Amino acid sequence: MKNKKKLSPESILELFSPKFSDSKVARLNLNTSQVSDALNKVTGNPGVLSGIKPLFDRTIVGRAVTASTMADDWGTSIKAIEAAKEGEVLVIQVEGDDKAVWGELASKTAQERGIISTVIDGAVRDVGAVKKLKYPVFSKTIVPNAGSSKAEGKINIPVTCGNVTVNPHDLIIGDECGVVVVPDEHLKDVIDETLRIKRNEAQIISKIEKGYSFSDILGLN
């Protein structure tokens, strides 16, 4: 059997170039729990977007394209789609959540452009249709109504989403547990720590399977 090739630091960073593929993401098998733990250790902040949940279970990884708008202005979301590149993630800060700034048509447009996912600190609608598209959307809430196409918001500026600051090009990781943002300047250290956590968890699982008690493994006794 051939030995598995270990990832070098350079190849790990290459995985997080502006363009992503499922195969690259799968090589690291990241999840938000491990990344959040790593981020908290490196920066003192777990980077979790509070209250933002997935419409359905799907793991996403990509660089952020940000937008700031109001609940009555879904037009800015469309401008954000046009500003995003293939493999990126839209992160939309919304003032208010009584009207949806995202839905089926926006999801279809983003999907056709190769955008990975949309994260909204506000409301989404057309949930059934979005699920059928299998386009990953993470949002704070769901409503049936929308506002208008004012397009008066701003694109690619620092935004606050789920009480966390997100800058353009930060790394966004989402799955069934929620969404975590990794600041670009901390990426290498956070990835290194995430891999250490994964190795440690694998060792713990191995010991549990051999009959060790969890308390003994953690040194709680």
Residue ranges for the chain with pLDDT beneath 70: 1-27
For domain 9-205, give the fold: Glucose Oxidase; domain 1 (3.50.30)
Report CA 99 to chain centroid distance, whole Å: 23
Residue pointed to by tokens 């800015």: 76
- pLDDT of the residue at 18: 44
Residue 103, H or E segment: none
Strands 178-182 and 171-175, sheet pairing: antiparallel
- pLDDT of the residue at 191: 87
Q: How many CB atoms lie within 10 A of CB 187?
A: 17
- pLDDT of the residue at 40: 98
Cα–Cα distance between 220 and 218 in angstroms, integer?
6
- pLDDT of the residue at 16: 53
- pLDDT of the residue at 13: 55
- What does the pLDDT look like over 110-151, one tens digit per residue? 999 999 999 999 999 999 999 999 999 999 999 999 999 999
